[in-house]
Structure 1
């Protein structure tokens, strides 16, 4: 693995940096205060993103399928959609995480479509702005405990249940819903369905008020005898005990490095701003001095930067593995666990180091501290990631290690 960023992504990174600096940062506080207000400024940027994604096959902020990611002959080294997505979102989240999650047609549900949809579904649904609905009132990190059901009825499935904390649930054109075909069959029966906005029986019950990422709408959605075409079931409709719900879980192998990249972006923003404030007030950061001659703030920041760089490299490795068709479940969880924790640690510590400037709304540091917490929670909490890593390292199943 080459640890340098591929040169072909330089234009993407530069463009994302410019958007973060010139578009996101100036309106960041505005939409933090105006929770649930739709950021109209993003419409033009979404059109630019559509042009950037044209022909890439990723369909949005989601990463590409593991099965489709490698070179055609199975050899060589590829840096593709997964790496591009991670690098782009890292820069955008340097600007604002909530706004990055609000870009039209770049929803997390697009990751599920890219990961497990067949070619016909990709052609039909790939350009749809899709949210992702997994969490329920009684099922959060344990996705296997999902109670929402999907019952076959002729050429349709009838979905019943409730989903909460659906990012972009009200704004998106469709929602990818995780539901069980037969609850007696356990996790093997869990499938994902694309439910388009306006489908009878699907109701947005409320929008949540949140600690952070307030620019992003977070919805609770109810499904009451919601009829969905069978063709909107993503992947294989057969219940396979051997495979479990590997197809559905592959979505996480794609999205966890993406969320890790978001945490890296917001942590970098906090570090950069803290460096700038310390230099402004006569404490410039230098790497030349010995540790015992540095100020406490300098020493602390260098330790935080080391943690940040470790998280960044883990994330790039997980994305690179996905692009090259390598199973990356363990590495995806490692990246998510490390980056989620580091993002929260860095932003909170930067608030403390900057004192009153960090705690007040004069700077964005306090906002980044609030925004960063969700990145350690959604797409699998810190505790769940550590459990997955332990299972992979010890060769244990979910039944053997709970």
Structure 2
């Protein structure tokens, strides 16, 4: 594994950084104050992003995790381009990055497990992802939404909350159980297109951060969906559990980690600009460092560790290597580091960090969600422990 940015992605990284600087940053505060207003400025990016996705594999979608290792050398593909692009975009604004048309977390789910026919139908739709329920948060196996077979369709009933882009997206990837009596093995994911009878957005949530992104509660009442919209294998395998559905997280957790790295880097860079005239002096010995310099260096080291973990998880996915442990390691490290860095930078900058004259206080608020969604810190540690110890979810709870 090379630690440098792959040459073929340098153009994508540069373009994403330009979008962050020239589009996201100037309107960041506007849509932080105008929660639930759609950022119309993003529409002009849709064509550019589609072109970038076609050329590089995607900025905020993710590629399928191959079950076979590549025989010739190493491969840097969609997963790597995704995290590299999102680091730059979230350096600009995390909420706006989550609001980009056709770049939702549901797109990652589709790319992870859809067959070729489904990729053709849904690959260019803006897809949200609906997992969390009022009684099922971090424990995805506790999902109570059902999908009961009826002829050529499934009938979905249930409620989903905290659906990112749930109102704006063209489709929602819904996790539901084919048979609640069987348990987690019966949980599958379904693409439900906007406007399907029985699907209703019942409210939009008010949030601490990422206010540019809409977060919806959606109900499904006798919502009829074609069987062809089930992603992955429709067979229920009680021995395998719901590994096929959970593979989605192996793709999306590095994506969220990349978001965390972007906002943390923004905070750290801005703090150095405000507090250090000439930047950090890396030639100083430890005993000559000021308390401020020591703190900034420690945060830089933590951020670099999170970045490398994230790149490794993405690289493994691109090269057909199971990455569940590494994806959770990246998410756990990056989420915690982003929370710490953004809050510490706010503190170090005093009034400049706390007032709306700077974006530092906004970045601190935005970063909190990145340690929560796609699995909390505690859930990530549990998954890592299971992988290291070789324990199943029933053996280690």
Superposed pair shares fold, TM > 0.5: yes
The aligned residue for residue 299 of structure 1 is: 294
Candidates 326, 330, 334, aligned match of 1:335: 330
Candidates 220, 237, 240, aligned match of 1:223: 220
Candidates 372, 378, 381, aligned match of 1:377: 372
Equivalent positions of 1:114-153 (< 5 A) are: 114-153=111-150
Q: Distance in 2 between matches of 1:56 and 1:124?
A: 20
CA contact (8 A) 1:69 1:323 kept: no
Deviations along 1:272-329, one digit per CA (max 9) or x if unpaired, are 000100135xx74221222222221111000000000000000000000000000000
- TM-score normalised by L of structure 1: 0.97
Candidates 73, 97, 113, aligned match of 2:94: 97
Please report the RMSD computed on the Cα atoms of aligned residues, expressed in angstroms: 1.2
The aligned residue for residue 48 of structure 1 is: 48
The aligned residue for residue 177 of structure 1 is: 174
Q: Distance in 2 between matches of 1:257 and 1:79?
A: 15
Q: Distance in 2 between matches of 1:284 and 1:383?
A: 35
Q: Distance in 1 between matches of 2:328 and 2:63?
A: 17
- Secondary structure, aligned partner of 2:201: strand
The aligned residue for residue 383 of structure 2 is: 388
- TM-score normalised by L of structure 2: 0.98
Deviations along 1:165-213, one digit per CA (max 9) or x if unpaired, are 0000000000000000000110000000000001010000100000000
Q: Which moved more, 1:286-295 or 1:23-32?
A: 286-295
> 1:350: how far off?
0.3
CA contact (8 A) 2:129 2:163 kept: yes
Candidates 143, 155, 160, aligned match of 1:158: 155
CA contact (8 A) 1:69 1:80 kept: no
The aligned residue for residue 61 of structure 1 is: 60
CA contact (8 A) 2:67 2:321 kept: no
Structure 1 residue ranges, 4+ long, deviating more than 2 angstroms after superposition: 55-58, 68-71
Q: Which moved more, 1:288-297 or 1:110-119?
A: 288-297
- Secondary structure, aligned partner of 2:356: coil
Candidates 81, 86, 91, aligned match of 2:83: 86
> 1:134: how far off?
0.1
> 1:33: how far off?
0.2
The aligned residue for residue 12 of structure 1 is: 12
Cα pair distance change 1:106/1:69, threshold 3 Å: farther
Equivalent positions of 1:225-244 (< 5 A) are: 225-244=222-241
Deviations along 1:121-170, one digit per CA (max 9) or x if unpaired, are 11111111100000000001100000000000000000000000000000
- Secondary structure, aligned partner of 2:66: helix
Candidates 195, 198, 205, aligned match of 1:198: 195
- Secondary structure, aligned partner of 1:253: helix
Q: Distance in 2 between matches of 1:87 and 1:110?
A: 17
- Secondary structure, aligned partner of 2:325: helix
- Secondary structure, aligned partner of 1:228: strand
- Secondary structure, aligned partner of 2:266: helix
CA contact (8 A) 1:133 1:166 kept: yes
CA contact (8 A) 2:9 2:56 kept: no
Candidates 107, 129, 149, aligned match of 1:110: 107
